[in-house]
Amino acid sequence: MNTIKHRAENLNNGGSVTVYYCGYEKCESGHSWGPAMRNQYLLHYVISGRGEYTVGGETYSLHPSECFLIRPGERTFYSADREDPWEYMWVAFDGFDVLEILRRTGLVSRYVASVENGGEFVRYLREMIDEFSQGGLFKVMSCFYGAMSVLEKSAHGGAYTREHEYVNKAIGYIKSNYGYPIQISDLARHIGIDRTYLYRIFTASENMSPKQYLMQVRINAAKKMLLAGTYSVGETALSCGFADSASFCGRFKRCTGMTPKEFIADSQKRRTEA
């Protein structure tokens, strides 16, 4: 057999993004997986060769310097070309901040993307695989975010526009101040631009308004606190920028479909069943 595999797994940091496993494979002719579903996001990068990826009734032909994304719960199938089977690297991940990562890398509504600086991308993935097998959590996450930064640059043509800088400043401000009763006017004033202009460029970049993004950050932060098991609902509400427990519980249910207590119970049940 000519198949070469390198796989590392079971390093879970429980943070806003968790890398579950990563690896490398030089596939044999016609090697395939599926149709089946994955439990996490799985990103493959094609180093050499060719293959096909099928999801949602669409089939994509993949070539070197391209990547394809598998989303959890979606039925997928992929196979190596019989004449020129692909060689690829992969990383499986999930977490509260994944949606933002997909937006920044251009994969929020796409399954396939080209990578402009493939050499740098591969270097990060190789380092991630090496560190993963040694249990180096911080280095693994550093390499993961490094690889995502390469995808982000590719999604923006390798350069950052002034509008992109404004959006990044807005996101940074929100993440640093979501626990305070900030207004979008505060955000625009901090960046030094008009509120209407901020709304337009932010919505175009993130597919949601600044206000919606702020609420998403608050709810995600609340989820982490609730799952920690050491904070009350009241403490969580005030820490995440809500005026009181009642307003927090109402907003949390509208966003998640569950009350905070139901969310905790559901999470505990899932861990027990896993």
Q: Note whether 150 and 20 are same-domain residues.
A: yes
Residues of the chain scoring pLDDT < 50: 1-14, 159
The last residue of one of the domains, among 155, 186, 206, is 155
Q: Note whether 181 and 259 are same-domain residues.
A: yes
Nearest CA-CA partner of 116 in 150, 91, 147, 90 = 150
Q: Note whether 85 and 123 are same-domain residues.
A: yes
Q: Note whether 44 and 143 are same-domain residues.
A: yes
- Structural domain boundaries, residue 221: 162-273
Domain CATH number, residue 59? 2.60.120.10
Count CB atoms within 10 A of the CB of residue 55: 20
The last residue of one of the domains, among 121, 155, 189, is 155
Residue 54 has a pLDDT of 96
The last residue of one of the domains, among 155, 182, 217, is 155
Residue 204 has a pLDDT of 87
Q: Note whether 151 and 40 are same-domain residues.
A: yes
User: First vs last Cα of the chain: how many Å apart?
Assistant: 34
Residues 110/70, Cβ–Cβ less than 8 Å: no
In the chain, the number of structural domains is: 2
Nearest CA-CA partner of 39 in 15, 71, 77 = 71
Question: Which DSSP helix (H) or strand (E) runs through 198?
Answer: helix 195-206
DSSP 230-274: SS-HHHHHHHTT-SSHHHHHHHHHHHHSS-HHHHHHHHHHHHHH-
Residue 83 has a pLDDT of 95
Q: Note whether 104 and 69 are same-domain residues.
A: yes
CA atoms within 13 A on the CB side of 195: 7
Q: Note whether 127 and 12 are same-domain residues.
A: yes
Residue 15 has a pLDDT of 57
Q: Note whether 231 and 132 are same-domain residues.
A: no
Nearest CA-CA partner of 3 in 21, 24, 25, 30 = 25
